[in-house]
A and B are shown apart, each in its own frame.
Chain A
Amino acid sequence: MSAETAQRRIAIVPAYNEAGNIGRVVDELRAFDPELDVVVVSDGSADATSEVARAHGAHVVTLPFNLGIGGAVQTGFRYAWENGYELAVRCDGDGQHDPSELPKVLAPVVAGDADIVVGTRFGGDDSFRSTAARRIGIRMLAAIVSLIARQRVTDTTSGFQALNRRALGLFAADYPHDYPEVEGMVMTIKHQLRLQEVPVRMREREHGSSSITAFRSIYYMAKVLLALFVGLFRRTIPTEGA
């Protein structure tokens, strides 16, 4: 990333109890692209996530209690929108997303070829240790979203994304709550934003593991499927530059 574009850009990093990882995540983002501002949204963390992030030079928004991933990420989108950023990237606070992969995700948005780009796991969908239920869920969702979007998508759960201001405006105004990447993809298509997937390398998460158990997977699937289905019958909201 050089300064060939003067577009102001920001990295949005949702974090929940990531004091052990967040410092390194912020450092890597800033080292990788000095022009890139970083905002960490601490989602009701009980540990020192906010303090560590601030000490490493990030802007910090501390939510008073846990809103869940959708509410946390949307806080970041609103921050970026209200502060006039032209480009935003979203990456997780657990260090899963490698900043050196950022150019791949950012390039189509910078070039104006896409409004939103999703970095998908290398090799299709799932190179990580995860439960069978989760893997089946991920594949099913990819198939359903591909069908609705009339465009092949492989990874509907990736939080490694780049957005231009138009996509930012849409998500600042309206963003799904509980499993937002899946619904977000469908919203993007419904609002005629250009969605693109690029394969990226992702790291194993370092501290802890995904908290999604089999029962919760089923609950999430039911909720997401319902949301996707109902979403088909909703009106679109106007976006800037449509």
Chain B
Amino acid sequence: MNVLAAPTPLKVSIAATVVSLLLVLVVFELIRSRRLRERYALLWLLTGVVLLVLSAWRGGLNTIAGWFGIRGYPPAVLFAVGLLFVILVLLHYSTVISRLSDQNVILAQRLALLESKLSERDE
């Protein structure tokens, strides 16, 4: 089935591997220096690791491309997978932002109520 598929060019594999590895390392460093919480890092790490595997394992990339009927250019799978993960991360962040803004409202209300209680006490 894969006989017709052109193999992934070696340069593409190398470049993609280097970039995914960089992503994993940057995420790791961000967690270590406490600029990124583990909770929000898992999805990024998963993205990096999946892209790394697909980039480095050229046979696998070709096979997966074959499954989806991509004959001409197997690295298109990398784009598709990368895009899928970016969408997932964005969706996840939308839920996080929603929760944060809800909590922000509650905090502002609590603070305002506290201030009014304090100023009434002063009078």
Q: A interface, how many residues as a size bin?
A: 10 to 19
> Using Cβ atoms and an 8 Å threshold, which residues of chain B touch A233?
32
B31 touches which one: A65, A219, A222, A226 (CB < 8 A)?
A: A226
CA distance A177 to B102 in the complex (A): 20
Q: Which residues of the partner chain A approach B28 to less than 8 Å between Cβ atoms? A: 230
Which residue of chain B is the closest to A230 with respect to CB atoms? B31
Quick check: B32 and A230 within 8 Å, CB to CB? yes
Contact of B42 among A64, A177, A222, A234 (CB under 8 A): A222
Contact for A223 among B34, B39, B110, CB less than 8 A = B39
Given the interface contacts A65-B103, A65-B106, A226-B45, does A178 sit within 8 Å of B39 by beta carbon?
yes
Q: List, in ascending order, chain A residues with CB within 8 A of B56's CB.
A: none
Do the beta carbons of B107 and A64 come within 8 Å of each other? yes
- State the Cβ distance, B102 to closest chain A Cβ, in Å: 8
**A3–B70 CA distance with the chains assembled, in angstroms:** 78
Whether A226 contacts B37 by the Cβ 8 Å rule is: no
| Complex: chain B residue closest to A183, CB-CB | B38
Q: Which of A197-230 contact B (CB under 8 A)?
A: 219, 222-223, 226-227, 230
Q: How far is the CA of A21 from the CA of B48 in the complex (A)?
A: 45
- Known contacts: A223-B39, A226-B45, A227-B38. The answer to whether A64 contacts B106 by CB under 8 A is yes
DSSP class of B's interface residues: helix, strand, loop or mixed?
Answer: helix
Instruction: Please give, as numbers and ranges, the residues of chain A lying within 8 Å of B102 by CB-CB distance.
Output: 65
The answer for the CA separation of A121 and B38 in the assembled complex, in Å, is 28
CB distance from A74 to the nearest CB of B (A): 14
What residues of chain A lie closer than 8 Å to B32, measured between beta carbons? 230, 233-234
Q: Is B41 an interface residue (CB 8 A)?
A: yes
User: Which residues of A127-180 are within 8 A (CB) of B?
Assistant: 177-178
Considering only CB atoms and an 8 Å cut-off, how many residues of chain B contact the other chain?
Answer: 15
- Whether A177 lies near B37 (C-beta < 8 A) is yes
Inter-chain contact B106/A223, CB cutoff 8 Å: no
Q: Bound complex: CA of A178 vs CA of B42, how far in Å?
A: 13
A234 to B29 Cα, complex, angstroms: 10
A223 contacts across to B, CB distance below 8 A: 38-39, 42
CA distance A222 to B45 in the complex (A): 11
Chain A 226-242 per-residue mask, 1 if CB under 8 angstroms from chain B, else 0: 11001001100000000
Q: How far is the CB of A4 from chain B (nearest CB, A)?
A: 41
Which residues of A come within 8 Å of B, CB atoms? 64-65, 177-178, 219, 222-223, 226-227, 230, 233-234
> Can you spell out 27 A-B residue pairs with CB atoms less than 8 angstroms apart?
A64-B103, A64-B106, A64-B110, A65-B102, A65-B103, A65-B106, A177-B37, A177-B39, A178-B38, A178-B39, A219-B42, A222-B42, A223-B38, A223-B39, A223-B42, A226-B31, A226-B38, A226-B41, A226-B42, A226-B45, A227-B38, A230-B28, A230-B32, A230-B38, A233-B32, A234-B32, A234-B34
Give 6 A-B pairs besides A64-B110, A178-B38 with Cβ atoms closer than 8 angstroms: A65-B103, A219-B42, A223-B38, A223-B42, A226-B31, A226-B45
